[in-house]
Amino acid sequence: MNRILTAAIAGAFLAWAGAAAAQQTDFSKIEVKTIDLGHRTYMLQGAGGNVTIAVGDDGVIMVDSEFAPMHEKLKAAIAAVTNQPVHYLVNTHFHSDHSGGDKAFAEEGAVVAAQVNVKKRLAQGTVDGVRGRKTPGVTGDALPAKTYRNALTLKVKGRTAQLRHPANAHTDGDTYVWFADANVLATGDTVVLGRYPNIDFANGGNIKGMIRASDAYLKLANDETKIVPGHGPLGDKKAVAAYRAMLIEARYRIAKLINAGKNEEEAVAARPFADLDAKIGASEQQSANFVRVIYHSLRP
């Protein structure tokens, strides 16, 4: 195995966000960690996806809101660095570990913004393609108030966020957010570091789109760019390059099994990621899930 691939997965764990994760979390014990990214921009880590905030002179642009029970703790973490209110809250996608706090922030005045498919998925409800678990639809303030298709720019006084939609990557409604003045990129779950990614194929996700998204990030970033992944530690251009190498290797291995005529269960039984699993401590079920999501991305 090449060194880049090893670096991308060493010490990682496979994580699948959603209702099950929320049910297993004691939110009273969670402490929010604040990482100063410079230029009044911060990364917040609590329970769920990573949060990014950009502080302006008259308001805050926030990226993702974690699980609903994290609202008060995130609010306190924001208050610790600014007295400005959250003006915009961007959803990088619809999963509840990134959008669960939307309703509470919206009720306090935040305008929730997302790619148009996020609103559709949240309103209609969704089904997990691997487990078949259903998530019911939501209404009212739990839905984004501002939507876009391909690109959107949000501004507060002194700060600008550029939103772009990478098509069919982690889901069909992904957004990445570029804060050019701070050289900070928030990717949502199109990039996760320190673990295998989930690819929500039942809701438009595809490994090919994940790789295309990484290509876009590598083109946008420079060696000084701070990259906030959907999960995991703060990254940089080298970390995303290694992550992309892992995705390409994973795609190659599953494509090889498909071309050999293996069905989904046979692909799982072949344990194509056994060497990777041993290094990251992934369980047999976690490994099987990763095989399945890539298989569904590539099957004829």
- Strand pairing of 86-90 and 111-115? parallel
Reading across the β-sheet that carries 146-148, which strands appear in turn? 33-38, 41-45, 51-55, 60-63, 86-90, 111-115, 146-148
250 within some domain? no
186 within some domain? yes
Element of type H or E holding 199? none
234 within some domain? yes
What total number of domains does the chain contain? 1
35 within some domain? yes
Q: What pLDDT, on a 0 to 100 scale, did the predictor assign at position 71?
A: 98
**CA distances (Å), 114 to each of 55, 163, 221, 287, in order?**
19, 9, 22, 31
Q: Are 113 and 80 in contact (CB under 8 A)?
A: no
Q: What pLDDT, on a 0 to 100 scale, did the predictor assign at position 285?
A: 83
DSSP code of residue 140: G
Residue 50 region, left (φ>0) first, then alpha (ψ -120 to 50), else beta? beta
At residue 160, the 3 state secondary structure works out as strand
Q: What pLDDT, on a 0 to 100 scale, did the predictor assign at position 108?
A: 98
Q: What pLDDT, on a 0 to 100 scale, did the predictor assign at position 282?
A: 74
Q: What pLDDT, on a 0 to 100 scale, did the predictor assign at position 284?
A: 85
173 within some domain? yes
119 within some domain? yes
Q: What pLDDT, on a 0 to 100 scale, did the predictor assign at position 283?
A: 80
Question: Residue 45 sits in a domain of what CATH number?
Answer: 3.60.15.10
Q: How far is 101 from 22, CA to CA, in rounded Å?
A: 12
Q: What pLDDT, on a 0 to 100 scale, did the predictor assign at position 21?
A: 57
Q: What pLDDT, on a 0 to 100 scale, did the predictor assign at position 15?
A: 39
Q: What pLDDT, on a 0 to 100 scale, did the predictor assign at position 195?
A: 84
Which of 37, 30, 2, 6 is closest to 227 using CA atoms? Answer: 37
Domain residues for the domain of 49 are: 14-245
Q: What pLDDT, on a 0 to 100 scale, did the predictor assign at position 14?
A: 36
The series of mean pLDDT values per 10 residues for the chain, 300 residues long, is 42 41 80 98 97 98 98 98 98 97 98 98 92 91 98 98 98 98 98 91 97 98 98 97 93 97 97 85 83 92
103 within some domain? yes
214 within some domain? yes
Q: How far is 287 from 92, CA to CA, in rounded Å?
A: 25
